[in-house]
Amino acid sequence: MAEQVTAEQVGVVGLGGMGSGMASRLLDQGVRVAVFNRTAAAADALVARGARRAGTPADAAAPDGVVISMVANDAALEAVSDGPDGVLSRLGPNGVHVSMSTISAELARSLAARHQARGSLFVAAPVFGRPDAAAAGRLWILQSGTSAAKARVRPVLEALSQGIADAGEAADAAPIGKIAGNFLIAAAMEAMSEAFALLEKSGVDGRAWHDLMAKSLFACPIYANYGRFILDRAFTPPGFRLVLGAKDVGLALSTGKEKQVPLPFASVLNDRFLAALAQGRGEMDWTSIALNAVADAGLKP
Amino acid sequence: MAEQVTAEQVGVVGLGGMGSGMASRLLDQGVRVAVFNRTAAAADALVARGARRAGTPADAAAPDGVVISMVANDAALEAVSDGPDGVLSRLGPNGVHVSMSTISAELARSLAARHQARGSLFVAAPVFGRPDAAAAGRLWILQSGTSAAKARVRPVLEALSQGIADAGEAADAAPIGKIAGNFLIAAAMEAMSEAFALLEKSGVDGRAWHDLMAKSLFACPIYANYGRFILDRAFTPPGFRLVLGAKDVGLALSTGKEKQVPLPFASVLNDRFLAALAQGRGEMDWTSIALNAVADAGLKP
Amino acid sequence: MAEQVTAEQVGVVGLGGMGSGMASRLLDQGVRVAVFNRTAAAADALVARGARRAGTPADAAAPDGVVISMVANDAALEAVSDGPDGVLSRLGPNGVHVSMSTISAELARSLAARHQARGSLFVAAPVFGRPDAAAAGRLWILQSGTSAAKARVRPVLEALSQGIADAGEAADAAPIGKIAGNFLIAAAMEAMSEAFALLEKSGVDGRAWHDLMAKSLFACPIYANYGRFILDRAFTPPGFRLVLGAKDVGLALSTGKEKQVPLPFASVLNDRFLAALAQGRGEMDWTSIALNAVADAGLKP
Amino acid sequence: MAEQVTAEQVGVVGLGGMGSGMASRLLDQGVRVAVFNRTAAAADALVARGARRAGTPADAAAPDGVVISMVANDAALEAVSDGPDGVLSRLGPNGVHVSMSTISAELARSLAARHQARGSLFVAAPVFGRPDAAAAGRLWILQSGTSAAKARVRPVLEALSQGIADAGEAADAAPIGKIAGNFLIAAAMEAMSEAFALLEKSGVDGRAWHDLMAKSLFACPIYANYGRFILDRAFTPPGFRLVLGAKDVGLALSTGKEKQVPLPFASVLNDRFLAALAQGRGEMDWTSIALNAVADAGLKP
């Protein structure tokens, strides 16, 4: 990439697998990066590569600058946004907070309003993809926010992704789209789990079946990869922890409740995730909801 | 294709869109074809292209020959199999009946036994794909049956398909795999329907969202094509009639009952299809189960 | 009861707990009874009390007489109805077959037609109540059939019951009502099971709660008795075997399918019963579907 | 009642149908009553009968006294509890707040802690029964809280009820029991709705069936009364508004989520209530969720 992504510093708040991957990608692209994480050690490798270590979320944001947040849930985003150390206190006019986590529609609206009250901007830009895609700049991004704000951060989002879709002006549009997307993934997992249970108990070769599906009608990453995880019962280490999947299905239901939209599949999924949590699978990969169908069918786990 | 598919006559019983497409493909490949349909006119175009018109299902089968059936449901397959005019009466030793419809596990086992009792062979070879794929020899086939029987019909199935997966020796293995596959499709339709309803009622641009999904995690025919049908509410003319989809979901449930495998998603789907039938959408495309989610959300149909 | 119930012989076919109880009650009331059971020993106690032992179902029916059947399922009712030994061969004009088992709507219609073809009558009169209620003449009966047929058997049904409701003329009306009633019971069981699981995991005293419910809004046998079975996990010996409950929920779903009526609760119940069967609880009491909610919640069984 | 219930004043905060009924009953029993309602006119009739009109929730509470709250939801209870006008500011040591509304487990715990911090007491005492039962002192009460607090308010609760069950010491025990009870009611409504839809579409006389059920296995108020409302489609004026029922089912689900207890029936109910709200039935009686089953079956509303 001959042209520079941006001359300004970009803050990255939240250095789990996803946040670290994005910060790393920005460093690769020659961007000046400031990083913050609640537990500081997560920043070490990035600092060694030239990132500036910020002492607080506010410190990761420059006045008039761009700061990205990628944290675990609504509460964590509140924690890095509010208070004297929060990014809201620092960004100022024309500064932009790009929220890339999966958050509730309600928090997106609330944060957008709080930013607006201070003259700063808010873009919701949740992503699809795993940490390796983040590090390679191969994420898929769904964004929403005002046109001005989106234009301001376009080069940064392009550096991180292979595709950006625009969900509209409303602060909560992209978050709702992300919630709907994760619901779609979870539904595919459950559908495959039920199908595999039926095949296994019927003595049908599930791998041959899956191979055919995954190279024909369902020739796409979710069915190819997640189907294999389920067939192999490869649930640890987790690619995405079940407890976070449960949170996301919960967001689908709470959004459905707010908007008065019944979601029968999400309801089944919610019951599946609660059972998995109750049975102690919260730290396994979320594909391990497949074990519910396995147990229900009286098959060996 | 320099080499000849087969020197022998192949019978095709059942000339709906799928059966006609397959017969046409075989003619294209230089195969001698005998065709039978309950209402004779469906055979006219094929006869004009050189197919032999058979007066009965039995007449479409040659002793020691290969006959394909592609009919609407279990009852129709019974009707063309049994009795003095049925294919069972005629095939004789080494003759093979290739059942390519979506049928119940129970009927597959029963037919295999009846063929065995007469010395003829039975292969279950249900397909994924629409009529245009059939006519182009681009189907996906899942087969099961004895090795000898499968070897016997291999060239014919290859002429019809772009891929063949083997589900095993049991007569009902491929039918159960087909039932599981159609369940997977129906589940994807319902998941998208719920997601679209949530997005629409939240004022989020469903098309932008679908575009992103269909070129990233869900970049595969079912999500790309069926998603568009649902967005466009393009439910007529039907590509696959809802009444047939209801039958297939019913087969998933009855197989689950036989094998003692609970299928919560299939249960939700069954209720959706019953509501759609009760509300008069049996002759629309099966993607029109999306209108249940639309109505539940209080959106305009 | 000063007046005689009936001067004629009444046949009772099927001597499980319910059939035996009914035959015993009729003997108590001074009725001449002929009894038949597939395994003859079940008749011994009744024969000792004066019942005539019939060698075949037909033998239990007198020409122009009344014969009651109380058997396990559709297949068993077919077996005692058809063939040279079946009740259909014997009843003749004005003879009445009173079917008191839980059977499918389809079989009720079919049997009524077969009786009509031979000039005999068919009344469907399924019951609510357990064997002790049968023996005490305290059953609740739902009947359907032609007025003439119902009038003919009225005294016998009154001798067996504390209340008779009339569902109409159609042969399948009472069977569908019985199916709906058993669905209502199963739904109450599942609702209590979920409530108890929630209370137990929340550390709330389930017995105090149940006592209050069962003497106020839900002061009726199903909630009082079945709730106690679930609280006590008193699932053996079975009052009503789970495998029969599974059959009845299956009848609700198949009737819903025939009539195009989605039944979401019945769908959940079907999945619960299948899981219970898959996990080996078919011979326990049907209230043991409660163990599904227990396992889902991660509680000790 | 010869003996006086209590010599002290009892405050009643919240004068909807239930709160008014309870205040009226206390006046009948010779209790001195102070009443508060957000819209003052609701107090007029009670004031005319001798109640003291309080200007604020705090004013309805006497230091060291007893105050009952009966309000619409968590937010309303927060509003009358907190702040300078709230009951918390006034009760002082040995004063007791008896919360009789249906509230969340979380709020019950939180309020109990806030009272404890100020030295006052908190009893959760949600009720089963309609306004007429409140006015007649015929409610059913489920209580939880410390022994001292429960002993303190016992005479008042006895004056209001025909039965009191004790769910334990935990502040949230009775609220969770109430949530479980309302879930049980809603589940009975849905089960009857599905059964009625099946019967109606099958041409079976639903009234005859209901009469039998409601005088035998289901001879209790919920099945007798609510079944009749559904049969008569008597949904206005509402006895209990659907929007409140939706809140209660939501409480069941949120409690299940907190405690990790899957509740498949509550999930179905949640979807039913959301559809009813989306279709504009929020102000009808909550039994009108029956119209979902009616619509799904293609029956006339």
Taking CA–CA distances from A273, the nearest residue in chain D reads D262
Q: Residue A37: exposed, middle, or buried by beta-carbon count in 10 A (0-12, 13-18, 19+)? A: buried
Residue D4 within any structural domain of the chain: no
The answer to whether residue A280 scores a pLDDT higher than 60 is yes
B87 min Cα distance to partner chain A (Å): 27
Nearest residue to D293 (alpha-carbon basis) of A245, C183, A43, A56: C183
Q: Peptide bond preceding A57: is omega within 30 degrees of 0, i.e. cis?
A: no
Enclosing H/E stretch for A143? strand A139-144
Peptide bond just before C84 cis, omega within 30 deg: no
Q: Is there a single domain that holds both residue B162 and residue B216?
A: no
* Position B167, amino acid: A
Q: How many angstroms separate the CA atoms of D128 and D140, rounded?
A: 5
Assess contact for B167 and B143: CB atoms under 8 A.
Answer: yes
pLDDT digits (tens, 9 = 90+) for C74-115: 999 999 999 999 999 999 998 999 999 999 999 999 999 999
Per-residue confidence band for A1, with pLDDT thresholds at 50, 70 and 90: very low
Residue D5 — pLDDT band, cuts 50, 70, 90? confident
Mean model confidence pLDDT for chain D: 96
Do both B75 and B115 map to the same domain? yes
Residues D183 and D132 in one domain: no
Is a pLDDT exceeding 90 seen at residue D7?
A: no
Give B106: exposed, middle or buried? Use CB within 10 Å, 0-12, 13-18, 19+. middle
Mean pLDDT confidence for B46-64: 96
Domain boundary among C107, C140, C171: C171
Domain annotation covers residue C286: yes
The torsion angles phi and psi of D99, rounded to 5 degrees, stand at: -90, 115
pLDDT at D4 over 90: no
Residue D301 falls inside a structural domain: no
Asked whether residue C34 falls in the same domain as residue C125, the answer is yes
Residue A66 lies inside a defined structural domain of this protein: yes
First-to-last C-alpha distance (Å) of chain C: 49
Domain that holds residue B107: 10-170
- Per-residue pLDDT, A87: 95
A44 and A191 co-located in one domain: no
Given this model, what pLDDT does residue B4 score?
Answer: 80
List the CATH number of the domain containing B215: 1.10.1040.10
Under the banding of pLDDT at 50, 70 and 90, the label for residue C7 is confident
Reported residue count of chain C is 301
For chain A, the domain total comes to 2
pLDDT band at residue B70 using 50, 70 and 90 as cut-offs: very high
pLDDT of residue B5: 85
Whose structure tokens read 């911090």? D117
Percent of chain A surpassing pLDDT 90? 95
Task: For residue B278, tell me if it sits in a domain.
Answer: yes
Q: What's the whole-number mean pLDDT along residues B212-238?
A: 97
Active site annotation includes D178: yes
Same domain, B18 and B134: yes
What is the average per-residue pLDDT within B46-72? 96
Do D222 and D156 belong together in one domain? no
Please give, rounded to a whole number of angstroms, the shortest distance from the CA of D50 to a CA of chain C.
Answer: 32
Query: Over 90: is that where the pLDDT of C3 sits?
Result: no
Q: Tell me the residues of A at the C interface, defined by beta carbons under 8 Å apart.
A: 201, 264, 271, 274-275, 278-280, 295-298
CATH number of the domain to which D104 belongs: 3.40.50.720
Average pLDDT of every residue of chain A: 96
Is B3 among the domain residues?
A: no
Q: Which of A152, A171, A190 is the last residue of a domain?
A: A171
What was the pLDDT predicted at A235?
A: 97
Q: Which residue has 């069977």 as its token pair?
A: C175
Determine the 3-state secondary structure of C50 from DSSP.
Answer: coil
- pLDDT, position C68: 98
Whether residue C35 sits in one domain with residue C150: yes
Q: What is the pLDDT of residue B7?
A: 85
Mean pLDDT in residue range B92-117: 96
Residue B301 lies in a domain: no
ipTM: 0.95
Q: Does B132 reside within a domain?
A: yes
Cβ(D281)–Cβ(D246) below 8 Å: no
Residues B113 and B216 in one domain: no
The mean pLDDT value for A173-182 works out to: 98
Q: In percent, how much of chain B has pLDDT > 70?
A: 99
Q: Which pLDDT belongs to residue B2?
A: 46
Same domain, B40 and B165: yes
Please indicate, yes or no, whether residues B163 and B190 belong to a single structural domain of this protein. no
Say whether pLDDT at D143 is over 90.
Answer: yes
Tell me, what's the pLDDT at C5? 85
- The pLDDT tens digits for A57-85 are 999 999 899 999 999 999 999 999 999 99
**Chain length of chain B:** 301
pLDDT for D196 beyond 90: yes
Among A110, A137, A171, residue at a domain's last position: A171
pLDDT reading at C1 higher than 50: no
pLDDT, tens only, B168-218: 999 999 999 999 999 999 999 999 999 999 999 999 999 999 999 999 999
Contacts of residue B264 in chain D, CB cutoff 8 Å? 264
Which of C262, C263, C277 is the closest to B260 by Cβ? C277
Q: What is the mean pLDDT of chain B?
A: 96
- Average pLDDT for C230-239: 95
User: Residue B1's pLDDT is what?
Assistant: 44
Most D-contacting residue of C166, C198, C253 (CB-CB within 10 A), to test interface = C198
Asked if residue C43 has pLDDT above 70, the reply is: yes
pLDDT at C2: 47
User: Is residue C287 a contact partner of residue C229, using CB atoms and an 8 Å limit?
Assistant: yes
Note the pTM of the prediction, 2 decimals.
Answer: 0.96
Same domain (yes/no): A211, A149:
no
Scanning every residue of chain D, which has its alpha carbon at the shortest distance from the alpha carbon of C226? D217
Contact between residue B88 and residue B81 where contact means Cβ atoms under 8 Å apart:
yes
Q: What is the mean pLDDT of residues B75-81?
A: 96
Rounded Cα distance, B80 and A189, in Å:
39
The whole-number pLDDT of residue C139 equals 98
Full 3-state SS string of chain D: CCCCCCCCCEEEECCCHHHHHHHHHHHHCCCCEEEECCCHHHHHHHHHCCCEECCCHHHHCCCCCEEEECCCCHHHHHHHHCCCCCHHHCCCCCCEEEECCCCCHHHHHHHHHHHHHHCCEEEECCEECCHHHHHCCCEEEEEECCHHHHHHHHHHHHHHEEEEEECCCCCCHHHHHHHHHHHHHHHHHHHHHHHHHHHHHCCCCHHHHHHHHHHCCCCCHHHHHHHHHHHHCCCCCCCCEHHHHHHHHHHHHHHHHHHCCCCHHHHHHHHHHHHHHHCCCCCCEHHHHHHHHHHHCCCCC
Cross-chain Cβ contact C295/A297 below 8 Å: no
Chain A partners of B202 at a C-beta cutoff of 8 Å?
105, 172-173, 176, 255, 259
